[in-house]
Amino acid sequence: MTTTSAVATLRALLGEEKVSESASVLEAHGRDENFPEVRPPLAVAFAESVDDVRAALAWCREQHVAVIPFGAGTSLEGSLVPVPEHGPVLSLDVSRMNRVLSIQPENFLAVVQPGITRTALNEALKHTGMFFPVDPGADASIGGMAATNASGTTTVRYGGMRQNVLALEVVLGNGEVLRLGRPVRKSSSGYDLRDLFIGSAGTLGVITEVTVRLHPQPEHVHTLRVFFPSVVAAAQAAYGVMASALPVARMELVDELGMRSINGYLKRGYAERPALFLEFHSSTAEAMDAEVQLAEELMHDAGATEVDVARTREERSAQWEARHQIYWALANAFPGQTYIITDTAVPLSKMPEMVAYAQETLREMGMEGSIVGHVGDGNFHTLIAVPRDEYARGQEFSGRLVRRALELDGTASGEHGIGLVKRGYLAEEHGAAVEWMRRVKALFDPDGLLNPGKIL
């Protein structure tokens, strides 16, 4: 059967409006921001129900076509990009499965379909006094965030997706529907298959429902911008905050280039020096006052040159908007280049050393890059801008950071995942366990159709 007639059978199966071969749609489903090539899939299927997902997977089995689940398209490391040697690929887009199925404030949870975005979920939670805390910056889908074990600015207090997903519904490649986990805070019942699927990037099954943990909206929030003479001094101050037991909810490092790029892109007037963006969630106004005083003392003791307080909700929102827009600010500062985002994590005590290594390596390789990161959880990124023909040199820089992180007992990826780009480091990090990962993959996906060529 030709590819044209095969796609025609998919249209007949799902309905004309659920299948697209439009060039612009195919291109959008064959790329991400951290991989240099666009590789369009054979077609895009827009699932609107579990039955649609099962039907699409049945078609893939019959036609021997691989499938890549797709949410909002915000993942990195080539996770969404087809691998040519594995043949034609169907992109299975679940963005139309975007309903909130249940909100249970009394149980501190919500049940959602995979295509709903984190901002849409929090909008739906406004009247409850609860919120979903995982904030990777991009307006990612909840299903995609679970599939990549996303985290972000609030991880230091609330954890990432693995800590905030209670249960999953998944469809396996053979069409079987599994429910993994229970809507409870703890369980010692059987093997934890739920956590196996969190972070599996669509290589084991397709997530069709997510039960997430909710948290009460903090009543007392205090936000600071603290400036330092160097990036390493800021990283050392971050470690001091973590050692102090202060109720820090967010702690983000932004270097001098990042601050300068933010000012140019968002027309801000921030000091153009390395900074920590901090936010504290306190139980009472009295506790907040004492905690803020201690935080400011710690910052000055660590060598801070300036401490700015965001006193209103608008100021706080502007500060976190600035942090989330750093990628686009850097792209604006270095137009027409290729942008690479590194992603390593190390034990907290090794964070200052790792940041210093990244800074030294940038200088040694003569590269433009901004160091930013969630330093309260040991994870940081370097945003690199290189000419389009120097992508390999950018990946060389990333590889040097990965190897240094592994030497410091860290990991190749704190939150972006392995995808296509970092497969070569998996054995170095996990040793003999990689072979058991292959066996798990083969058990759940014996036909090798679920996002093949990723992770392993």
Residues 219-271 have pLDDT tens digits of 889 899 999 999 999 999 999 988 887 889 999 999 999 999 999 999 999 99
pLDDT-derived band at 2, boundaries 50, 70, 90? low
Q: Which residue has the tokens 């759940």?
A: 444
Query: What is the amino acid identity at position 179?
Result: R
The predicted structure's pLDDT at residue 289: 82
**Following CA atoms 77, 435, 142, 95 in sequence, which dihedral angle do they give, to the nearest 10 degrees?**
70
User: Does the pLDDT value for residue 311 go beyond 90?
Assistant: no
pLDDT digits (tens, 9 = 90+) for 71-99: 999 998 999 999 999 999 999 999 999 99
Q: What is the pLDDT of residues 365-417, one digit of tens each?
A: 999 999 998 888 999 999 999 998 899 999 999 999 999 999 999 999 999 99
Predicted pLDDT at 35: 86
* pLDDT more than 90, % of the chain: 84
Q: Is the pLDDT of residue 4 over 80?
A: no
207 DSSP β-pair partners? 170
- Residue 53's φ and ψ, nearest 5 degrees, are -60, -45
Domains of the chain: residue spans and CATH:
3-93 (3.30.43.10), 100-216 (3.30.465.10), 220-323 (3.30.70.2190), 329-420 (3.30.70.2740)
pLDDT at 1: 62
> Within the chain, what is the greatest distance between any pair of CA atoms?
72
Q: To the nearest whole number, what is the mean pLDDT of the chain? A: 94
The structure's pTM equals 0.94
Q: How many C-beta neighbours within 10 Å does residue 290 have? A: 12
Reply yes or no on whether the pLDDT at 3 is more than 80: no
- Is pLDDT above 70 for 192? yes
| CA–CA dist 41, 229 (Å, integer) | 48
Question: Do 268 and 381 meet the contact criterion of CB atoms below 8 Å apart?
Answer: no
Q: CA nearest 54: which of 170, 146, 147, 197?
A: 170
